[in-house]
Amino acid sequence: MKTIMFTGGGSAGHVTVNLALIPRFLEEGWSVQYIGSESGIERQLIATIPQVKYFPISTGKLRRYIDMQNIKDPFKVVKGLFQAYRLIKKNKPSVIFSKGGFVSVPVVLGAWLNKVPLLIHESDLTPGLANRISIPFATGVCTTFPETGGMLKADKSRHVGAVIREEVKQGNADRGRAFCGFTRSKPIILIMGGSLGARKINTAVRQSLTALTKQFQIVHLCGKNQVDPSIVMPGYKQFEYVNEQLPDLLAMTDLVISRAGSNSIFEFLSLKKPMLLIPLTKEQSRGDQILNAQSFEKSGFAEILYEEKLTAVTLEERAALVYANRAAYIERMNMSEEANALSAVFDWINEIAKK
């Protein structure tokens, strides 16, 4: 039996592609294993697939700012490297697939030391810090945006497009409305700030609820510990995070207001959902979400509302504008070419494993 080992974590975006690929390998009879952090979201998400054996390792975050944890974390990374090295040596996977995130770096180095082939997936237009560290040790890199290939060696990268989870396309709008207690009387906005939430978006949404709920019903994914139990009103439903119900929520949605993480926005594109994107600022990130959002705005799939200009008023105005022009956004999305990225990545992994 061939064995594949996955890694990636720190946020839901670093697990989504793995979740899309894992069922395909299980169906083909592979043994599937996963190396992740001890307490990250990846452990919670992978736990929903009992056939996958999960191995937790020590991890340290790769920060771009001054923090006392920067003193301790290199030791955690070194410990994680030894753990990953031993796990890979013991389990002898045919190939390792990395989605990135800080947990992946020790695994990538462990794979290289064990001479196990490794494939990396880069969702964003520009590679993140963990993937930039990892790419020299990888057999190949799958890119989502065609522009990314120009930053990498031609013989190492392939443009495969966005890997979309099959279950995302299988949502049911009636189930989504029933889950939220919504009706068909008003259009629906889905608001999400990423798996950890976004306080500024949450604040602007709550300040604009009276105005927004006159025209829309709103389902608000707030992030961990960010639900406000004092807000109870018709046409507004809030959750920390949803997993199994997300396809149903997307099926019923007429407009998405979201951060601009690559995995999410490509899923919205595949479902033809008009988007108002609020990318992370350069102070909060390396600017990758800004580039992702600008690429989508240039293609006519989305409108950008930069966080520096985010207020209750601008949120109301831009949401109404995108909804009013929704037919034009959907028409341009219907004209976009949707590659079968999942099959392309699956085939490349098989190709590497055979070698």
pLDDT per residue over 86-112, tens digit each?
Answer: 999 999 999 999 998 889 999 999 999
Q: Does 336 have pLDDT greater than 90?
A: no
Return mean pLDDT, the chain.
Answer: 91
User: Residue 76's pLDDT is what?
Assistant: 85
pLDDT per residue over 166-176, tens digit each?
Answer: 889 999 999 99
User: Residue 109's pLDDT is what?
Assistant: 96
Q: Pick from 17, 29, 87: which is nearest to 350 by CA?
A: 29
pLDDT per residue over 122-152, tens digit each?
Answer: 988 888 888 999 999 999 999 998 889 888 8
Range in 125-134, 182-191, 214-223, 314-323 the model is least confident about: 125-134
Q: How confident is the model at residue 310 (pLDDT cuts 50, 70, 90)?
A: very high
Q: Pick from 72, 132, 73, 78: which is nearest to 101 by CA?
A: 132
Q: How confident is the model at residue 10 (pLDDT cuts 50, 70, 90)?
A: confident
User: Residue 69's pLDDT is what?
Assistant: 61
With contact defined as beta carbons under 8 Å apart, do 161 and 345 qualify? no
pTM comes to: 0.81
How far apart are alpha carbons 285 and 290 in whole angstroms? 9
117: its two tokens? 């082939």
AA letter at 105: V
Q: Does 210 have pLDDT greater than 70?
A: yes
Percent of the chain with pLDDT over 70: 95
Question: Roughly how many angstroms between the first and final C-alpha of the chain, as a whole number?
Answer: 16
User: What are the residue boundaries of the structural domains of the chain, listed by start?
Assistant: 3-161+339-354, 167-335
Choose between 90 and 11: higher pLDDT.
90
- Measure CA 271 to chain center: 15
The single residue listed with the structure tokens 């560290």 is: 133
User: Residue 94's pLDDT is what?
Assistant: 97
Angle value at C-alpha 37, between 31 and 42, nearest 5 degrees: 65
With contact defined as beta carbons under 8 Å apart, do 141 and 122 qualify? yes
52: its two tokens? 């996958």
- Measure CA 31 to chain center: 24
How far apart are alpha carbons 114 and 8 in whole angstroms? 19
**Which residue blocks in the chain are alpha helix, DSSP H?**
16-27, 41-46, 69-91, 104-113, 129-134, 173-180, 199-207, 209-215, 246-252, 262-270, 288-298, 312-324, 326-335, 341-354
Count Cβ neighbours within 10 Å for each residue of 77-91 and write b for 16 or more, e otherwise. Answer: beebbebbbebbeeb
Q: How confident is the model at residue 287 (pLDDT cuts 50, 70, 90)?
A: confident
Q: How confident is the model at residue 65 (pLDDT cuts 50, 70, 90)?
A: low
Q: How confident is the model at residue 226 (pLDDT cuts 50, 70, 90)?
A: very high
Is residue 84 classed as helix, strand or coil in its secondary structure? helix
CATH H superfamily, domain 167-335 = Glycogen Phosphorylase B; (3.40.50.2000)
Percent of the chain with pLDDT over 90: 73
- Return the CATH number of 3-161+339-354, one of 3.10.20.600, 3.40.50.2000, 3.30.70.3290, 3.10.129.10: 3.40.50.2000
With contact defined as beta carbons under 8 Å apart, do 139 and 121 qualify? no
Angle value at C-alpha 63, between 41 and 15, nearest 5 degrees: 25
Q: Up-side HSE of residue 339: CA atoms within 13 Å toward CB?
A: 15
How far apart are alpha carbons 265 and 262 in whole angstroms? 5
Backbone torsions φ then ψ of 278, nearest 5 degrees: -120, 85
How far apart are alpha carbons 100 and 267 in whole angstroms? 19
211: its two tokens? 């105005």
Q: Walk across the sheet containing 118-122 and list its strands.
A: 53-57, 31-37, 3-7, 95-98, 118-122, 140-143, 157-159
6 CB-contact burial (10 Å; exposed 0-12 / middle 13-18 / buried 19+)? buried
What is the gyration radius of the CA atoms in the chain, in angstroms?
A: 20
User: Residue 60's pLDDT is what?
Assistant: 73
AA letter at 216: F
